[in-house]
Amino acid sequence: MIELKNVTKKYGKQFALKDASLSLSPGKIYGITGPNGSGKSTMLKLIAGLVYPDSGTVSVGNDPAARSMSKSIAYLTELDMFYEPFRVKDAVYYYESQFADFQLDQAFDLLKEMKIDGEQKIRNLSKGNRGRLKLTLTLARKAPVVLLDEPLSGLDPLVRESIVKSLISYLDLEKQTVLIATHEINEIEQILDEVIVVLNGRIEDKRNVEELREEFGVSLLQWFKTFLKDK
């Protein structure tokens, strides 16, 4: 479904990804984790076709990744870019006008669940509510590929658990492949099928989370900490 073959991406002289190869199957939730600066966001941008590899190939379905595929990729970016004078509901209607797969009813259900008032001006939203609005707009799309870059950033630790629960209930794993980049792996560990570890631009490991728990008898976070210590 999604494939990276020997992908290297540099920004100037700085390597963001080095010779990364990866194959992701449909219907699963993948987590990409690793310390800040390891290349997680770059990997998502490559899949979304927003940046191109210096060498190697990235494909989604049968096609090379390209910006024109945004109609089939729901992408929550690390950026916070809203049209500030809009009300929340204007942003929702704008997304509906842009994406054929956008589910208006689900968007308003999500807003209710996230306790965001549709009449509020975006410029008056708190940081946490901006994060929730970003998630709402992304999750209301039923795209075959969902890319979430640090979806919990800016959210209060107390609400993260309930947000992760709504996350899973709005995904349709019969039809969607989900890739979540996060440095806070413990927050989403319960919903992941597979975890991919990147360090300094290299893919160091890829594991089935359930097998990992059985094999090591520890949580994903504990395993990850031991993994980093051995590096």
Burial class (CB in 10 A: 0-12, 13-18, 19+), 206: middle
Instruction: Report the amino acid identity of residue 197.
Output: V
Rounded Cα–Cα distance for residues 218 and 100 (Å): 42
Q: Which stretch binds Mg ion (CB under 5 A): 38-46, 50-58, 138-146, 210-218?
A: 38-46
Q: Which stretch binds ligand ADP (CB under 6 A): 31-39, 95-103, 167-175, 210-218?
A: 31-39
Among 39, 53, 131, 151, indicate the residue that binds ligand ADP (CB under 6 A). 39
Binds 39: which of Mg ion, ligand ADP, none (CB < 5-8 Å by kind): ligand ADP
Among 22, 38, 131, 152, indicate the residue that binds ligand ADP (CB under 6 A). 38
- 7 closest CA partner among 60, 49, 46: 46
- As given in the structure block, the two tokens for residue 41 are 């966001």
Whichever of 31 and 34 has its CB closer to ligand ADP, that residue is 34
Residue 178 CB, nearest distance to Mg ion (Å)? 17
DSSP codes of every residue in 18-43: EEEEEEE-TT-EEEEE-STTSSHHHH
11 scored as a contact of ligand ADP (CB under 6 A): yes
Among 4, 7, 20, 42, indicate the residue that binds ligand ADP (CB under 6 A). 42
Rounded Cα–Cα distance for residues 33 and 150 (Å): 10
Contacting residues toward ligand ADP, per CB under 6 A: 11, 14, 16, 34, 36-42
